[in-house]
Amino acid sequence: MNRRIRVPEVRLIDEEGKQVGVIPTKEALAQAEEKGLDLVEVAPQAKPPVCRIMDFGKYLYEQRKRQREARKGQTGGLVKEIKISSKIEAHDINFKINHIIKFLEQKNRVKVTVVFRGREVSHAERGQELLDHIISLLDGYAVVENPPNLDGRNMTMLLGPAKKRSPPTASE
């Protein structure tokens, strides 16, 4: 940046993004100072190196702002797990659903595991039906990130928080 650029000549790009051409470094620096901006080396490996006239502070601010925006789109890093039996009762399902909703509202992902004991694993379709029922109950709260999958004596699925739905408009 600015006086730390040690090459004799650079390929200059002005503040509007237009190529000026290959000019001596001192002349490029003078143009940047004249406009009250910085001369920043953007491609040092090129022959000659590419430099751009820009406000370096504003550039750093925009980069940090883009990084913050990218982080906003990510869901929470925690994965909470709910374990249920394949013979769970209706009231118990509702109790577990409330816990799942609470976790999803906190932007956590939820791993729902159906545990098969003994010979229950021979009726894996019962676990599949149970997880499908849970998905239908969580419509609007969760999106299925990994569909139900049988792994040994457990059937698991991964749920993520759903995007906020906009309130219905008068035309709907």
57-93 tens-digit pLDDT = 888 898 899 888 877 766 556 889 999 998 888 889 9
At 130 the pLDDT is: 92
- What is the token pair recorded at 162? 């759903």
Residue 48 has pLDDT above 90, yes or no: no
Task: Please give the mean pLDDT across all residues of the chain.
Answer: 85
Domains delineated in the chain: 2-70 (3.10.20.80), 79-161 (3.30.110.10)
Can you say whether the dihedral through the CA atoms of 94, 95, 96, 98 is positive or negative? positive
Q: What is the pLDDT of residues 83-121, one digit of tens each?
A: 999 888 888 999 999 999 998 888 888 999 999 998 888
Structural contact between residues 83 and 113, judged by C-beta atoms closer than 8 angstroms:
yes
Whether this prediction's pTM lies above 0.75 is answered by no
d(CA 93, CA 76): 24
